[in-house]
């Protein structure tokens, strides 16, 4: 259910068991066997909308293909070790300064373990916004994480003096493996609004 929720966050598709998502039961098909016999998470993706039917118009093919890219990409990542933002908490700093305090919890949302530590660096993608909290280089070493395990990062402080109230500020979290034997390079974008609202 957690994987399915993440896979449909960008295309708005329904997710769930057959009768919950497409309105009919599918007992005994390959997904049941994969999970029941081999304990392998398995998904059947039905693409498009109810208006498309089983033979969508050729004019809809490109759109349907685009809607399917993120679910496939996410599931491929989850088959290995996948570091992602689990929770975000944003609050105002001391009244005397123009800063937001950002608390991040990261999770290895994949089915495999991170065998080695990884470096996570943060930088501000928005002009005039400054970030501090991970040390002089704004990088932090994330210890090896087992599948589904979470870890809290040090407190981040974002200077908002140059940001208008209600504006969005973007952070880039760059993740890199510290050992060549476990290649990983990814960037997570986090958008923080200058009125304590967040999205990811």
Which residues have CB under 8 Å from 109's CB, separation 6+? 2, 6, 78, 82, 83, 84, 86, 148
Nearest residue to 131 via CA among 99, 153, 105: 99
Is the whole model's pTM more than 0.85, yes or no? no
- 169-188: pLDDT as tens digits: 777 777 665 544 444 456 66
pLDDT digits (tens, 9 = 90+) for 6-52: 888 888 888 887 777 777 776 667 877 887 888 777 788 888 888 88
Give how far the C-alpha of residue 81 lies from the chain's centroid of Cα atoms, to the nearest Å.
13
């Amino acid at each position: 259910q957690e994987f399915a929720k993440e896979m449909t966050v960008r295309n708005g598709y329904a997710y769930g068991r057959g009768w919950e998502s497409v309105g009919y039961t599918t007992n005994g098909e390959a997904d049941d066997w994969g999970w029941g016999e081999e304990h392998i998470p398995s998904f059947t993706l039905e693409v498009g909308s109810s208006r498309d039917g089983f033979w969508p118009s050729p004019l809809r093919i490109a759109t349907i293909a685009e809607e399917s890219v993120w679910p496939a990409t996410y599931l491929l990542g989850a088959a290995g070790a996948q570091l992602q933002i689990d929770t975000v908490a944003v609050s105002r700093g001391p009244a005397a300064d123009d800063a937001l305090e950002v608390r991040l919890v990261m999770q290895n949302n994949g089915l495999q373990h991170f065998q080695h530590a990884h470096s996570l660096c943060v930088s501000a993608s928005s002009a005039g916004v400054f970030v501090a909290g991970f040390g002089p280089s704004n990088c932090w070493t994330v210890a090896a994480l087992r599948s589904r395990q979470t870890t809290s990062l040090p407190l981040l402080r974002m200077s908002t003096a140059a940001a208008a109230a209600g504006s969005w500020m973007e952070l880039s979290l760059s993740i890199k493996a510290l050992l060549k034997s476990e290649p990983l390079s990814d960037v997570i974008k986090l958008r923080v609004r200058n009125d304590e609202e967040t999205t990811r």
